[in-house]
A and B are shown apart, each in its own frame.
Chain A
Amino acid sequence: MSIVVLDNVKKSFGAVKVLHGVSFSVAKGQVMALIGASGSGKSTALRCIDRLEQIDSGRIEVCGHQVADPGLDLRKLRLDVGMVFQSYNLFPHLTIEQNIMLGPVSVKRIPRPEAKGIAAEVLAKVGLADKVTAYPEQLSGGQQQRAAIARSLAMQPKVMLFDEVTSALDPKLTGEVLRVIEELARTGMTMIMVTHEMNFARRIADKIVFMHEGKVHEQGGPEILTAPATPELRDFVSNEL
């Protein structure tokens, strides 16, 4: 059963055509890695899934929501989808706990004591149980990114989207964030991750989608990374490694 379906999705910014008919689907519990060269439209595709961008044509269905429908209740879509960004985007004036409680309390209307419990739970999951009262700027990049993942997890989404969440981190910090994501994958979370970490993608992804010039150029299991069918993917993989 597919949780996310993109069907011939097209998207331009002004005169710049970015997505030229993108189609792929992700099943429940599946981990999909979205790869491709810079500018191939990976971020744009991801942002369209959460309606941060509206598509020009085609169809996107996420957890039963018709995402392109102008009448869509965005709040309901966002309750089902979590998103983590390259630049963390924690709220700097709130403590880590307040960052995490904001969604549950003001969007889901969960009582504060209960939301506090949820915050403690997700922080433990990402290994930040001792950072409850810290402010984002007091954390390292890797810790901030794990806190951002916890913030997203606290909303109990059905799908999580990751957009190059380790690109701003050095190798050591990258490792600690990837371990958290790997653990999430093991618990059966459905995930789409844009990543340049080819080894990581090969290890944990059930499905690889390679984008090239605004289109899905090749897709398949993790084995396509070692045995690419198209010259473009072969070039891309050899450049990345």
Chain B
Amino acid sequence: MILDFTPILARWQMLMDGAWLTIQLAVATTLTGFLLGTLCAVARRSQFRLAAAVAGTYVEAIRNTPFLVQIFLVYFGLSSLGLSLSAVTVAIIALTINVGAYTAEIMRAGFDSIHKGQWEAAETLGLSKVQQYWHVALRPAMERVYPSLSSQFILLMLASSVTSQISTEELTAAANFIQSATYRPFETYLVIALIYVALSLAMRVVFWAISMVIFPRRRRLGTNL
């Protein structure tokens, strides 16, 4: 087998555009997914039965269906409602819904790990429930589950590949186009595999940098909570 990368590298710009959209999708849905997931974790733990049940149903529904099917459901669901949204918007919605469910489970474990005494100390100081989550529970919970959390968001970036199925022009979609134009599928997917590896490693570095900012205690003392 002779490998020939020249026709692929000739379309380098297209790959870069695809990678850039992949990065944008990853960043946007990491933020929205974290927000949705954390709110669902709080809802699942709350004493409001209805909120807990709604959040629980959502989490289980998402964790027990394939992501591709979820994308199609969002895509065709929204269009049958008469909403004509761009492929990127649909991708962001579907990715958020998907990662939000997994994040909810991770954050729930994080909040569950906060000792009862911490909540009681906050309670006796007069903090409201929202303040207890915000000031007392959120950062220690995140710090404990941070490895799972960052892995989940890297998986999310990789899973954004599937949105090529609704013609979002991200990295995998670019590869699909290039391989059909060049008849060099192996080389094409090998190149984007390497780009995905580079993106994953870059995300690890970014998550490490974020941890240095949001966990000052850890930065200063280097110990685990």
Interface residues in chain A, defined as those with a beta carbon under 8 Å from any beta carbon in chain B: 50, 52, 74-75, 78-79, 81-83, 85, 87, 89-94, 102-103, 106-107, 135, 137-138, 148, 151-152, 155
Contact = CB atoms under 8 A, between A and B. Distances in A.
B139 A93 contact: yes
A75 B126 CA distance: 5
A137 B124 contact: no
B194 interface: no
Interface stretch (B21-29, B64-72, B88-96, B115-123): B115-123
A137 B218 CA distance: 11
Contact of A135 (B122, B124, B139, B220): B220
B81 interface: no
A93 B217 CA distance: 6
B136 interface: yes
A92 B225 contact: yes
Interface residues of B, number: 24
Contacts of A89: 115, 117-118, 120-121
Given A91-B136, A93-B215, A135-B221, A75 B128 contact: yes
B140 interface: yes
A52 to B, nearest CB: 6
B163 to A, nearest CB: 36
B135 interface: yes
A122 to B, nearest CB: 13
A148 B125 CA distance: 11
A52 B124 contact: yes
A106 B127 contact: yes
Nearest to A85: B117
Contact of B125 (A87, A93, A138, A151): A151
A85 B116 CA distance: 12
Interface in B119-168: 120-128, 131, 135-136, 139-140, 143
